[in-house]
Amino acid sequence: MKRILTIVALALLSVTTYAHTLTGDPPAKPMKNVVQHIVLFKFKPETTQAKVKEIVAAFEALPSKIKEIKGFQWGTNNSPENHAHGLTHAFILTFDSEKDRDTYLPHPAHKEFGTVVGPWIGELTVVDFTNQAK
């Protein structure tokens, strides 16, 4: 399972690193030493699409409430490899440091988001890493 999560995390990083190919812009240099906080959700079967949209909107609002969040991306799984284990939504938050990430975790806005999403999550995976890209 750890290997699968690592593969998922690296795949997500690859997608974000090479997103420039969609716009034709030159590739952005990977930001070394930033902390990537990757969150993967599998919603409970009874979660409606309207509820999912509400949850995503609440997550999208966090960067405006928590100054330590320097980047926010999200998307839904579209991998043809069939290794997602039912995880459907991926979120990547970027922090300048572990200290900033550690400030985010107990932040009241993050805790409030947890009360919004918590009842609807069937599975949750979180992987953090400090980017070592050159």
Q: Could you give the CA distance from residue 62 to residue 87 in angstroms, rounded to a whole number?
A: 21
**Structure letter (DSSP) for residue 25:** P
Q: What is the pLDDT of residue 22?
A: 45
pLDDT tens digits, 29-51 = 567 889 999 999 999 999 999 99
Q: Which domain holds residue 47?
A: 2-130
Q: What is the pLDDT of residue 42?
A: 97
For the chain, the 3-state helix, strand and coil shares in percent, each to the nearest 5, are: 40, 25, 35
* CB of 98 closer than 8 Å to CB of 104: no
CATH number at residue 98: 3.30.70.100
pLDDT tens digits, 7-18 = 444 444 444 444
Q: Could you give the CA distance from residue 24 to residue 57 in angstroms, rounded to a whole number?
A: 28
Q: Structural domain tally of the chain?
A: 1
The predicted model scores a pTM of 0.78
